[in-house]
Chains A and B, each alone.
Chain A
Amino acid sequence: MTHSQDVTNLATAQRRLALTLTAAMSAIYFGFILLVAWDKPLLGTLLAPGLSLGTLLGALVIVSAWILVWIYVRWANAHYDSTVASLRKDR
């Protein structure tokens, strides 16, 4: 395989993961927002004294953002960086 083909493959892999994670974040966030807009009583349901479903889901959206970023960073540190390093050597 040629060097430029390797770069293209790396670019494709990075783009696929970046767009998948972006889609995941959008789905989680807009799912939450649409629930807020359409079913306010549901989100107001109290699961425990002081804890509404809306508050719980909201906190989970923040945690999910952290998890998605962690997935990306783990992939980048484990695979992306080493491929970049070897491609840089050969250019």
Chain B
Amino acid sequence: MPSALGAPNPVAIGFFFLFISVTLGITWWAARRTKTAEHFYAAGRSVTGLQNGFALAGDYMSAASFLGIAGLVATSGFDGLIYSIGFLVGWPIVMFLIAEPLRNLGKYTFSDVVAYRLEGTSVRVAAAIGTLAVVSFYLIAQMVGAGNLIRLLFGLSYEKAVVLVGGVMLLYVLFGGMIATTWVQIVKAVLLLTGASILAGLVLLQFHMNPLELFAAAAAKYGDKVLAPGQLVSNPFEAVSLGLALMFGTAGLPHILMRFYTVPDARTARTSVSYAIVLIGFFYLLTFILGFGAMVIVGRETIQGIDKGGNMAAPLLAEALGGTGFLGFICAVAFATILAVVAGLTLSGAAALSHDLWVSVVRKGSAPEREQLLVARGATVALAVLSIILGIAFKGQNVAFMVGLAFAIAASANFPALVLSVFWKPFTTRGAQASMIVGTLSAVILIGLSPTIQVQMLGRPSAYFPLANPGLVTIPLSFVVGIVVSLLAPEKRAADGFAGLQKQLHLGGD
């Protein structure tokens, strides 16, 4: 059966416009409520635990997860599960180490926490560099996903698609700030979970609602090896390196961290992680079913015939099971997914530029409300333009893989400084700076020297650094540098501030 993918699909276009009208309506409503920087960055701290749980899930369940992992499972079976699990196990870490401290110690960005008892200015510059590196890599992955997806769905050119996503996202963030972004994420999370549940239900209906029958059918079609680990993880170092980056990277993603400022208190922050982790775990179990469903029902040859990376597995499955109408719905959901994630990313990048760099560093912490909002919005425009340019420049890369790189930087640049500043008394300003700079630089440099860039992109016979993911080296390195630099030159003021930090961390209040 020839696929309707790539031809204009009236149902997809209908859902697409419906989603855009509803979310722009929300943006208009949110814009009238966005009067201060606290509204723009933190939705006035009035988001409930359940709402924030859905919004966290919406921020996290990216197109790379939905399309990329379903595609990875469809083309290589079990291996896709390794990614899914890695994306989930970061959440308990967020719960145990990050969520409550963040809410009680910070205002808008994670560098508020690192700067709490250290000398703000220099720490914030380093933190902003880490944040912007993560945001850039993650945005590239999302924009590339968006370009491919919309090109395949609607026959629109890759470049136009990237501009469209960047433009709509700009409207959400520029006018509606965090209030609009939160609601876009909630709407998207509900749509994505509903769409994926229906699709998984349709798959399982063909196998007596028994996933094992589905897996057995996949094994019958492509051999038992689809149920066993394959080539994705070929050496133990690579496996652990990827795992470290996924696990600790989640706890260092600026757009996720920022969401904890939108709730009224630490207890609500905790509640919201509980909801998020259930929703996200459920979602990844669904993608496993979807991937195997696509493998059996659509077939690997068809999936890879349309997109070598397998990214179209879920949409093709939707078409095979629910016809063109359901394909249209799933396509619109995937589009919504990308929009919500890029909106969150852009907002966190704008906060780093405006709150960390402009207000805290340039203006020494005191800037009029009007100016704060103006700079935040200027930064939003700049990031939207940058994301469009990067999206076009990085055309043709596998999306799930690029996300792995963003996680490596988040885990190496942000996570160690955050944990040390909250839990380790002797941590110093210089230690924090060194840890974040070394984390960012080492991750970026080692990625540059990795097989991904050297062999796959530049076509060299070998790479200078053997691992595709540098986490195994860069995360411990960043911790060690932070600790050694702190011990070499103790900072009395920072150590004295630790008791105050503990009090604020646990007792909260303003």
Q: Name A residues whose Cβ lies closer than 8 Å to a Cβ of B.
A: 4, 7-8, 10-11, 14-15, 17-19, 21-22, 25-26, 28-30, 32-34, 36-38, 40-41, 43-44, 46, 48-52, 54-55, 58-59, 61-62, 65-66, 68-69, 72-73, 76, 81, 84, 87-88, 91
Given A51-B212, A52-B78, answer yes or no on A36-B88 (Cβ-Cβ < 8 Å): no
- Expressed in whole angstroms, the Cα–Cα distance for A84 and B229 within the complex equals 46
A46 touches B224 (CB 8 A): yes
B215 touches A55 (CB 8 A): yes
Given A40-B229, A50-B214, A55-B215, answer yes or no on A33-B82 (Cβ-Cβ < 8 Å): yes
Q: Is B370 an interface residue (CB 8 A)?
A: no
Given A25-B92, A50-B227, A73-B270, answer yes or no on A66-B506 (Cβ-Cβ < 8 Å): no
Q: A29-B86, A34-B239 are in contact. List 11 more A-B contacts (CB 8 A).
A: A8-B499, A18-B97, A25-B93, A33-B233, A52-B228, A54-B228, A58-B85, A69-B92, A69-B273, A87-B507, A88-B508
B239 touches A37 (CB 8 A): yes
How many interface contacts (CB-CB < 8 Å) are there between A and B? 157
Q: How far is the CB of A7 from chain B (nearest CB, A)?
A: 5
- Which of A21, A25, A38, A69 contacts B236, CB < 8 Å? A38
Inter-chain contacts of A8 with B (CB < 8 A): 499, 502
B281 touches A65 (CB 8 A): yes
- Which of B91, B212, B228, B230 contacts A65, CB < 8 Å? B91
A34 closest partner in B (C-beta): B236
Q: Name B residues whose Cβ lies closer than 8 Å to a Cβ of A.
A: 78, 81-82, 84-86, 88-89, 91-93, 95-97, 211-219, 224-225, 227-230, 233, 235-236, 238-240, 243, 247, 267, 270-271, 273-274, 277-278, 281, 284-285, 423, 499, 502-503, 505-509
B501 closest partner in A (C-beta): A11
- Expressed in whole angstroms, the Cα–Cα distance for A11 and B500 within the complex equals 12
A55 touches B507 (CB 8 A): no
